[in-house]
Structure formats: structure tokens, C-alpha cells
Amino acid sequence: MTTLKLYGRVFIEGEIEAKTGLHIGGSGGAFSIGGVDNPVIIDQLTRQPYIPGSSLRGKMRSLTEKYLGRVTGQRISQIEIHSCRKSNGSYATCPICNIYGITAEEFNLPTRLIVRDVPLEPKSAERLQVAKTSLPYTEVKTEVTIDRVTSQATPRDVERVPAGAVFGPMELVYNIYTNQDIEWLGVLLDGMQLLEDDYLGGMGSRGSGKIAFRGLKVTLKQHNNYRQPVSLGSYASLSDLSAALPGIIAQIKTALNIPAGG
């Protein structure tokens, strides 16, 4: 039996700005009356688009797997992810499986990273309403597929959240059980940077999905005084946070004082 102690949690809060139109697919579409071919996912209560935590987390994991050159092979639904095996003892040194998790069939151990759903920021929702976009809070982008043999054009409509929309509050919660987890904060920020340089959602190769993290705030909650959060700084951009990371790691190590080997 493995004994784990939660020494602390790091909270990264902020906003996500859509730098180009954002399409994260939802249900409905052409099969609903008056629907577009490819609708975005919406909150069923507010009818506003949002960014699912699973989309954010999944894309960060996928990009980090490629960045670190990890072999994929564990099939989940229609995708394959990297997953360490008990037989080769690689889990202890794998930041991806520790940060983003692993199936219970392999290890009954906790995931370090929790990613919340990110709603549309209220002021941004108001601006979109005033703008009178094609649909409530969204735009319709028409794309055309050209048959290379006949040159016949087949149009299709794609729903997107317009460029300039802001989602927030964003919240990433990072659990710390070992000294190694503190060092792996750098891998988490790498995943965020890789995502900024790539795209979120669908049709990224055709212009959609460029995002930026902004207005970031980092907070630490310690095991010995959990109800009193400690601020680790506010940062205008992800690059500012990345530049401050060595100092943040040093502060966390001092505050948590995890025993050597822990």
C-alpha cells in the first residue's frame, strides 16, 4: 500500500483570450432545425460557449507528449495517449503520467493536475451581444471544399467564437506530493506555452484556435495552514510567469519544506 501526503496545492488563475476564431465542437448542428454544420459547445443553462477543462487539459497533454517524445499506445475512445506500464517501472520518472494522470488499470495513484471548465467572461459576453454576431455569442464561418477532379465546390458552415472573446476565470489546480512535483511545474508551463504556439479546438491548420493566457495569478495553499493562501505573484502574460518560475519554485520549496526523498 502506498502512502501519499498532500503537501500543498498551486493555483494558476487567469483568462484565455481567443486571438482567432475558436471552434470547440458541440452537439446538434445540421441535425437540428436551423443549425449550422459544426456548432460549438455551449453551457445548457446560459447558452453561452465555454472552454471545457477536458479540451484544455487534453491538448496540453498531447502537445507535451510530442514535445518530450513519448510513445503513445494507450487507447481511450478514438485517441491514443502515452501511458507508463507497471512492468517497466517508468512511472516514477514520467512527468506526463504524474501530471496528467494514468488509467486505474495501471496505477491507483492521483493525478496532479485539475483543470476547470472556463466560462465566457461576462464583459466579453456583453460585447458579443452588442456586436450582433451571426448567432448568439458566435459567428458563422463558411468554408468551401473543392473537388480536385471536378472542381465542384461544396460549402459548409462552421460556428466559431469570434476573435477577441475572453474566457475566465480559468483555474488550474496542481497538487504537490513530492519535491519532484515542484520541479515538474516547469513541464506544466511548457504545456501551456506549447498550446499558445499551437491551437485549441478544431480547424487550427485553417486559422482557428489561436489563444493566449493573460492576467495570471499564482497562489499556494500549504498543508500546515491550508486556509491561508500565499500569493506567488501576478503576471500579465505566460512569458512573464515563465520568467518568474525559478523564483516561484524556490518559494514553494521553502514554504512546504518537504523532507528529502519525499
Q: Is 169 helix (H, G, I), strand (E, B) or coil?
A: strand
- More confidently predicted of 117 and 154: 117
- Dihedral, CA of residue 246, residue 83, residue 79 and residue 66, to nearest 10: 40
Does residue 246 register a pLDDT over 60?
yes
Q: Please, which pLDDT band fits residue 29 given cuts at 50, 70 and 90?
A: very low
Pairing type for strands 8-18 and 79-81 reads unpaired
Give residue 176's identity as a one-letter amino acid code.
I
Q: Please, which pLDDT band fits residue 143 given cuts at 50, 70 and 90?
A: confident
pLDDT digits (tens, 9 = 90+) for 195-210: 999 999 998 998 999 9
pLDDT > 70: what percent of the chain?
90
Cα–Cα nearest to 139, from 187, 207, 188, 93: 207
Least confident of 89-93, 118-122, 159-163: 89-93
Non-local (6+) Cβ contacts of 44 within 8 A are none
Give residue 207's identity as a one-letter amino acid code.
G
pLDDT digits (tens, 9 = 90+) for 34-73: 456 789 999 999 999 999 999 999 999 999 999 999 877 6
Cα–Cα nearest to 218, from 238, 234, 195, 242: 234
Q: Where are the domains of the chain?
A: 8-24+42-137+161-256
Question: What's the rounded Cα separation, in Å, for the pair 171 and 11?
Answer: 7
**pTM, to two decimals:** 0.90
Partnered with residue 79 across adjacent β-strands are 76
Cell of 104: 486505474
DSSP classification of residue 95: H
Cell of 32: 437540428
Does residue 92 register a pLDDT over 90?
no
Please state, rounded to an integer, the average pLDDT across all residues of the chain. 89
Cell of 117: 471548465
Between the CA of residue 170 and those of 13, 14, 54, 106, 217, what are the distances in Å? 5, 5, 13, 30, 10
Most confident of the following: 82-86, 105-109, 149-153, 212-216: 212-216
Question: What's the rounded Cα separation, in Å, for the pair 140 and 157?
Answer: 6
- Dihedral, CA of residue 204, residue 209, residue 213 and residue 215, to nearest 10: 160
Q: For residue 216, what is the enclosing H or E element?
A: strand 211-222
Contact 91, 107 (CB under 8 A): yes
Determine the pLDDT at residue 95: 95
pLDDT digits (tens, 9 = 90+) for 220-237: 999 999 999 999 999 999
Question: What's the rounded Cα separation, in Å, for the pair 90 and 83?
Answer: 10
